[in-house]
Amino acid sequence: MADITESSEWSALAEHHTTLAGTHLRELFSADAGRAERMAVDAGDLHLDYSKHRATDETIRLLVALAGRAGLRERIDAMFAGEHINVSEDRAVLHTALRLPRDARLNVDGQDVVADVHAVLDKMADFAGRVRSGEWTGFTGKPIRTVVNIGIGGSDLGPAMAYEALSDYADAGITARFVSNVDPADISGTLRDLDPEQTLFIVASKTFGTLETLTNAKVARAWLVNALGDEKAVSRHFVAVSTNAERVAGFGIDTGNMFGFWDWVGGRYSFDGAIGLALMIAIGADRFREMLAGFHAIDEHFRTAPFERNMPVLMGLLGIWYNDFFGAQTRAVLPYSQRLARFPAYLQQLTMESNGKSVRADGAPVVAQTGEIFWGEPGTNGQHAFYQLLHQGTRLVPADFIGFAEPFEDHAADDAGMHDLLTANLLAQTSALAFGKTAEEIAAEGTRAEIVSHKVMPGNRPTNTILVPKLTPATLGQLVALYEHIVFVEGVIWGIDSFDQWGVELGKVMAMDLAPALTSPEPPADAPDPSTAALVRRYRRLRG
Ligand code: F6P
C-alpha cells in the first residue's frame, strides 16, 4: 500500500498550499462576495460556517479528491456494514449500530445486532425507570438519590460529559457523580457526604479488568458494607456495565444486574449504549432515546451526503489541511456553553486515543503527521486565559467555536440578556481571529506610535463556527457523532487504525510491576531504569 503522501492528490494540495499560504482571509473575503453564504453546511440541527478558513473552493475540491484517493467512501461503507476495520484487534467498529432505530436490520458475523442493542436499551430503560420512580430501593428500603459511576477513560468521560451537558434535563431528583482516578482523593471526595442507604454504584468497565475501576469499586463496596453492616446489601447497591459477565460475577455483582455491550464498541465510543446508564437514570429513557436519534441523524448525514456538503468530511479534511500542510499541531475546541465544560476533555480521548498513531493499518510507518492535539475550555473563560496566544502568538491554532441560539435559562443584565452577551463574545472572537486589526487602523485611533505593533491583531486565524438551536439530548448526540466521524475521516486519510489503543498498555503493565517495589523490603537498584529506581528510593524515604 503506497503512502497517501506519495499520491498526486497530496502533491496537488502541497502545491496549492504554497500559493494560498500567503493569502489573508481579508483578501479571500473581499475577492468573493458570496463566500459566507456558500461556505456553510447544515446537518441535522447543526449549522457549520467554514468560510473563515484559509481555503477556497479549489482547496475543498482538492481535499475531496484526496478523500477519494484514500478510499473514504469505501471505508465509510465498510464501517457501517460491520466489516472488521479495526484490523489490529480483528473487530468490527459499530458504534453507529448503538443508535440504529428498532426497525433497522444489521447482521454482523451472523448476529442481528439491532435486536441485541434494543434488548439492552430496553433492560436499561426498565431499570432506570424503576430507580427513578423509587420502585428500586436500597437495602434498607429507601429510594436511590445518588448514582455513582465508577469507571475510567471511555467508561467515565462520555457519561460524565453528557451528564453535565444535560443536567438541566435531570428531572427525577437523582444526581450522578463520577469516580475515575485511582488517587484515593477521588473516591473519598465523592463518598464523603453521601448516604449509603440511598446510593447506587454503577461499575462501568468494558473489560472489567481495569485497575483504577476495580480498586475504586472495592473501596466503594467496603464503604457500603461497613455502613449497612451486611454483605447482602451489595446486590441492591451495585450494578455493572461490561462485556465480561464472568469477571462481573467474580467481583460479586449479580449478572442479572449487568448491562452488556459488545467488543465492536470501542470504550471511547460507548456512552450511547449501556455505559450511559447513569445518564439514563438521571434524564430518563425517553430523553436518552432522543439523544440516540440525534446521533443517528448525523450518522445518516455522514453516510449519505456528498463529500462537498458533508459536515464531518469537510471538518475532517480541513483538519488534515492545517495539520499536514500548515504544520498546525493542535485544534482548540471552544464551546460557548458552561454545560459543555467537559466536552474538550471528552474529545481528547475520542480523538487522541483514536488517531495518536505512528504506524498505518498495514504496520508500515506513517509519513504524514497524525493525531491533532485537541484542547479547550468553555468560552468566555478561555478568552481571559489563553486567547491572547490564539490572537497574537506565533503558532497557528485552528479552533472550533460551538454556540447555541437558545439557553435553557437566561437572566437579564442591563440591556442585554446574559445569553446574548455570551453569543456576542463568540461572534466577536471569530471575527477578530479572522480579520484582526491592522497597524493603520490602530494608528488611526490615535495610539502612540511606539505601541502600535503591540496592538496589531494579525488575523488570518482559521475557525469553524458551529451554531446549534439549543443544547438538548438530540443536539448533544449530533455534536458527538460529528466529532466521531471527523476522527474517522482523518484516520482514513492517514491510513491508520483509529480503533485500537496499544500505546496505553505498556504503562499499565509497568505500573503493576512497580507497585510492589514501593513497599518491598529491597528497593530496586536500577530497575526498570536508573532514574525511575532513584525516584522509587526517594519516594520510599519520603513515605517514611
Ligand atoms: O487504557 C485505555 C482504555 O482501554 C480505554 O480505551 C478505555 O476507555 C479505558 O481504558 C477503560 O477501559 P474499561 O472500560 O475496560 O475499564
DSSP 278-292: HHHHHH-HHHHHHHH
pLDDT (0 to 100) of residue 514? 95
Per DSSP, 149 falls in state: E
Task: State if residue 154 touches ligand 1 by the CB under 6 angstroms criterion.
Answer: yes
pLDDT (0 to 100) of residue 524? 84
pLDDT (0 to 100) of residue 83? 96
ipTM passes above 0.95: yes
Q: Is 459 helix (H, G, I), strand (E, B) or coil?
A: coil
Give residue 209 CA to ligand 1 midpoint distance, Å.
9
Q: How far apart are CA 302 and CA 323, in angstroms?
A: 22
Per DSSP, 255 falls in state: G
Task: State if residue 159 touches ligand 1 by the CB under 6 angstroms criterion.
Answer: no
pLDDT (0 to 100) of residue 297? 98
Per DSSP, 362 falls in state: T
Task: State if residue 149 touches ligand 1 by the CB under 6 angstroms criterion.
Answer: no
Task: State if residue 213 touches ligand 1 by the CB under 6 angstroms criterion.
Answer: yes
Give residue 381 CA to ligand 1 midpoint distance, Å.
30
What's this model's pTM, rounded to 2 decimal places?
0.98
Q: Which of 15, 231, 384, 406 is catalytic?
A: 384
pLDDT (0 to 100) of residue 184? 98
Q: Which of 197, 212, 290, 353 is catalytic?
A: 353
Give residue 43 CA to ligand 1 midpoint distance, Å.
31
Q: How far apart are CA 101 and CA 99, in angstroms?
A: 6
Query: Would you call 508 a catalytic residue per the annotation?
Result: yes
Contact 287, 295 (CB under 8 A): no
Mutate which of 216, 357, 501 for ligand 1? The one with the most ligand atoms within 8 Å of its CB, which is 501
Atom of ligand 1 minimally distant from the CA of 152: 11
pLDDT (0 to 100) of residue 109? 83
H or E segment and range at residue 405: strand 399-406
Per DSSP, 321 falls in state: I
DSSP 14-71: HHHHHHHTT--HHHHHHT-TTHHHHSEEEETTEEEE-TTSS--HHHHHHHHHHHHHHT
Mutate which of 203, 207, 241 for ligand 1? The one with the most ligand atoms within 8 Å of its CB, which is 207
Report residues of the chain scoring pLDDT below 70.
none
- Using DSSP bridges, classify how beta strands 373-375 and 330-335 pair: parallel, antiparallel or unpaired: parallel
Mutate which of 149, 277, 504, 508 for ligand 1? The one with the most ligand atoms within 8 Å of its CB, which is 504
Task: State if residue 274 touches ligand 1 by the CB under 6 angstroms criterion.
Answer: no
Task: State if residue 500 touches ligand 1 by the CB under 6 angstroms criterion.
Answer: no
Mutate which of 155, 178, 265, 270 for ligand 1? The one with the most ligand atoms within 8 Å of its CB, which is 155
Give residue 53 CA to ligand 1 midpoint distance, Å.
35
Q: Describe the crossing of helices 113-133 and 285-304 by its angle, rounded to 10 degrees.
A: 150
Give residue 205 CA to ligand 1 midpoint distance, Å.
7
Place of cell 477578530: 432
Of 467, 478, 466, 470, nearest in space to 407 by CA? 470
Closest residue (by CA) to atom 10 of ligand 1? 153
Q: How far apart are CA 16 and CA 326, in angstroms?
A: 11
How far does Cα 332 stand from its chain's mean position? 13
Query: Would you call 47 a catalytic residue per the annotation?
Result: no
Give residue 190 CA to ligand 1 midpoint distance, Å.
21
Task: State if residue 268 touches ligand 1 by the CB under 6 angstroms criterion.
Answer: yes
Q: How far apart are CA 94 and CA 97, in angstroms?
A: 5
Q: Which of 232, 454, 470, 508 is catalytic?
A: 508
Of 496, 497, 498, 499, nearest in space to 4 by CA? 496
Closest residue (by CA) to atom 1 of ligand 1? 504
pLDDT (0 to 100) of residue 277? 98
pLDDT (0 to 100) of residue 522? 87
Q: Tally Cβ neighbours within 10 Å of residue 194.
A: 17
Give residue 210 CA to ligand 1 midpoint distance, Å.
7
Q: Which three cell numbers stand for residue 369?
A: 503527521
Give residue 311 CA to ligand 1 midpoint distance, Å.
29
Atom of ligand 1 minimally distant from the CA of 275: 14
Query: Would you call 419 a catalytic residue per the annotation?
Result: no
